[in-house]
């Protein structure tokens, strides 16, 4: 049953005498304890140093206004980004769909996109004032005539 050659003729089993070295285990435990004490003393010294050199400031009272806003020009964090995005889109959509002044002094107005497209179809684009009809100059747009009977798809 026992295939080990050392125990082949021996019917009585004996314990292993070289399992653990008690001195090595003792040295390890003592070293571990000394390391733990050194680390704890070091951490305590660091905490005491920071406590002496870096104050926490005055204690906070529940009546003090503790919220300090960043200076102007620094972007703020958004507490509710989806709602703010929806509000921004609604404002932009309102600008695109309503009448209003852009520059009242110079008589520049904004009109809804649908109305602007209808006016463009009725009046056409402005004629080019460029002497070279083949080339488009910056700030000018060539004339385009809408075919008779054309209705824009909405």
Q: What is the largest CA-CA distance in the chain?
A: 121
pLDDT score of 87: 93
Domain for residue 35, yes or no?
Answer: yes
pLDDT score of 21: 85
Domain for residue 141, yes or no?
Answer: no
Domain for residue 31, yes or no?
Answer: yes
CA distance 44 to 104: 71
Domain for residue 16, yes or no?
Answer: no
Domain for residue 52, yes or no?
Answer: yes
Overall average pLDDT of the 17-34 stretch: 90
8: pLDDT strictly greater than 60 = no
Domain for residue 130, yes or no?
Answer: no
Count: domains in the chain: 2
| Nearest alpha carbon to residue 110 among 95, 89, 90 | 95
- E strands, the chain, are 100-103, 108-110
Q: What is the pTM of this model?
A: 0.34
Q: Phi/psi at 103 (nearest 5 deg)?
A: -145, 95
Radius of gyration of the chain (CA): 43
pLDDT score of 124: 82
Domain for residue 33, yes or no?
Answer: yes
Domain that includes residue 48, residue range? 21-56
| Nearest alpha carbon to residue 111 among 153, 120, 90 | 120
CA distance 123 to 144: 10
pLDDT in tens, 81-136: 899 999 999 999 998 899 888 888 888 888 898 888 888 888 888 775 555 555 55
Domain for residue 153, yes or no?
Answer: no
pLDDT in tens, 26-55: 999 999 999 999 999 999 999 999 988 887
């Amino acid at each position: 049953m026992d295939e080990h050659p050392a125990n082949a003729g021996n019917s009585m089993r004996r314990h292993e005498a070289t399992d653990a070295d008690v001195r090595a285990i003792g040295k390890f435990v003592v070293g571990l304890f000394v390391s733990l004490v050194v680390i704890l003393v070091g951490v305590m010294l660091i905490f005491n140093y920071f406590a002496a050199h870096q104050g926490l400031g005055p204690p906070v009272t529940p009546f003090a206004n503790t919220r300090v806003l960043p200076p102007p020009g620094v972007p703020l964090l958004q507490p509710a980004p989806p709602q703010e995005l929806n509000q921004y889109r609604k404002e932009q959509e309102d600008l695109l769909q309503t009448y209003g002044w852009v520059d009242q002094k110079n008589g520049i107005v904004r009109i809804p996109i649908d109305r602007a497209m209808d006016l463009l179809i009725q009046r056409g684009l402005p004629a080019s004032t460029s002497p070279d009809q083949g080339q488009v100059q910056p700030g000018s747009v060539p004339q385009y005539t809408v075919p008779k009977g054309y209705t824009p798809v909405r």
